[in-house]
Amino acid sequence: MKLYRALQSQGFGSRKGCMAQVRAGAVAVNGTVCDDPEAEVDPAGLELTLDGVAWRYREKAYVLMHKPAGYECSHHPSHHPSVFGLLPGPLLQRGVQCVGRLDQDTTGLLLFSDDGQFIHRMISPKKGVAKVYLAQCAEPVTDAMLDALRTGVQLNDEPAPIAALACETVDPHTLRLTLAEGKYHQVKRMIAAAGNRVDALHRESVGAFALPADLSPGNWRWLEPAELHQLEQAWPSAKS
C-alpha cells in the first residue's frame, strides 16, 4: 500500500492533503520520517506518526467511549453537544457511527465503528445482543415491578408486551435490567409502564463486554482484538 493511501484510509485527509503532509516531512513510518508519499508500506504492524501522535494502522475502526451525561448521539444535535465532538478528527473523517444510541442524559458504554456489518449485527433485533443497564428509580423498586418487567410490560406503540431478559434489585431504588433490543427510550418506557420513573440511567455492558472501570466519562479508546472478539461472541450465528 502506498503511504499516502494508508494515511487517507486512516482519516488523515484527502489524497492531495496526505501527499502534502508526507512531502513536508510531517509523517513518520514506524518511527522513521518519510517524505515520499508513493513509498510502499506494509499495513501489518504499521504505525504512523503525525504531529507527534502515533496511530496504529487499523483496517476498520472499533472504538468505545464512556459517554457522559449531557451529550447527544447525533452528528446534528438539537439541544446538547454531540458525542462526536469528543472524538479526534481522523475518526470523524473515517465516518465512524454510533453502534446504537444512548439518550442525552444516559451515561455508560457507547461503541463506534466504520464497519457497517459490525454495526448491523450489534443493533439488529434479530441478533438479540444483550445490553445491561443500571437504572436509578424515583420510587422504591418493588417485587411487583420486577415481576412485571420479567414477564412483560405493554408499551403504547408496541403490538405485544416486552420483557427484560433479566432484572434484579441492586439497592432499594436501583435495578439492573438486561434487554435484547434497543427501542426508543426503551428502559425508561418499560420502567414507567411498570409504575416507576427513571431518574438516572447507565449502560454497563453490551454482550459479554463491560465498560472498563478505568475509562473516565468523556474519554474514548480503541477496542483491542480480544475485546472485539468478546463482542462478536454475542452473535455467533452471524458467522454461519
User: Which CATH number is associated with domain 3-56?
Assistant: 3.10.290.10
User: Cα–Cα distance between 207 and 210 in angstroms, integer?
Assistant: 8
Contacts made by residues 71-79, CB under 8 angstroms, sequence distance 24+: 71/104, 72/104, 73/98, 73/101, 73/102, 73/110, 74/101, 79/104
Beta bridge mates, 207: none
Name, in order, each residue with C-beta under 8 angstroms of 239's C-beta and a sequence gap of 6 or more: none
Q: Model confidence at 238, in pLDDT bands (50, 70, 90)?
A: very low
Q: What is the pLDDT of residues 167-180, one digit of tens each?
A: 999 999 999 999 98
Would the CATH topology of 3-56 be identical to that of 131-206? Answer: no
| DSSP states of 133-153 | EEEEESS---HHHHHHHHH-B
Given this model, what pLDDT does residue 229 score?
Answer: 86
pLDDT greater than 90 at residue 219: yes
Q: What is the pLDDT of residues 48-100, one digit of tens each?
A: 999 889 999 999 999 999 999 999 999 988 889 999 999 999 999 999 999 98
CATH class of the domain whose range is 62-125+208-239: alpha beta
Q: Where are the domains of the chain?
A: 3-56, 62-125+208-239, 131-206
**Which residues participate in catalysis according to the annotation?**
103
pTM here? 0.90
User: Cα–Cα distance between 60 and 9 in angstroms, integer?
Assistant: 9
Q: Which fold has domain 131-206?
A: Alpha-Beta Plaits (3.30.70)
pLDDT greater than 70 at residue 36: yes
Given this model, what pLDDT does residue 230 score?
Answer: 84
Residue labelled with grid coordinates 515520499: 36
